[in-house]
Amino acid sequence: MKRLTYEIVIEREDDPKAGYSVHCPDLPGCFSNGGTPAEAKRNMREAMELYLESLNANGEAIPSPRKAVQVERVALLAPA
């Protein structure tokens, strides 16, 4: 087994009661959620492990981590 480090994106849902969603850009279709960022991260770790196990069980290649997630804010004026 080799250690892989993937980047994940955690986003707060529009409805604060809905918590947080999380996905991994390098693992398409692999996503999870949680009530807090920490819970979303724990849940995502489990989802990612299951995702990689499924790829392996089906003889598919495990993607190498490659994307560098960059988050920036852009301020602009929107029409009223």
40-59 pLDDT per residue, tens: 999 999 999 999 999 999 99
Please report, for the domain that includes residue 65, its CATH number.
3.30.160.250
DSSP code of residue 16: G
Spatial contact of 30 and 9, defined as CB atoms under 8 Å apart: no
Spatial contact of 40 and 33, defined as CB atoms under 8 Å apart: yes
Instruction: Report the half-sphere exposure of 53 (CA within 13 A, side-chain side).
Output: 6
Segments forming the whole domain that contains residue 79: 1-80
- pLDDT at position 77 is 94
Number of domains in the chain: 1
The residue that leads in pLDDT, 32 or 67, is 32
